[in-house]
Amino acid sequence: MLNFYQASLVLFWLFLLVAGQICFKYTAIGLDVNSFKQLFQSLFFSGFFWFAIVLYAVATILWIIILESMPLSKALPFVALSFVVVPLISRFLFNESFYWYYWGGILLILLGIWVTNYAIK
């Protein structure tokens, strides 16, 4: 079971990952490129892109701190939470759709996190 410190770190880390993914999506929406040169120029001048890079850099440092306080085998399943949260947020921000079986996938992810962290001692 995660203690308060570990849970706080994991939740903040998850927030950073989710925010980074949303920024990358906003970057992609703003792109209109026909070549690699245009792509790199567009990315260079995109505030969302650079903000996402900073968020991911901070998340990487935080991940190392998380791994200092808990085993990798306990921390790694929480990565899957981003596969739950990002699409749910993108549904509302970008009007993206997903189908009924997506909800089944969410349940399996949550069950997997529970089994790997709480059910097996």
Q: pTM for the full model? A: 0.85
Render 53-101 in DSSP notation, one character per residue. Answer: HHHHHHHHHHHHHHHHHS-HHHHGGGGGHHHHHHHHHHHHHS-----HH
**The pLDDT of residue 12:** 97
What letter would DSSP give residue 35? S
SS3 8: helix
Mean pLDDT by 10 residues, the chain (121 residues): 90 97 93 82 91 98 96 87 91 88 90 79 57
Please give the helix or strand (H or E) that residue 17 lies within, else none. Answer: helix 4-29
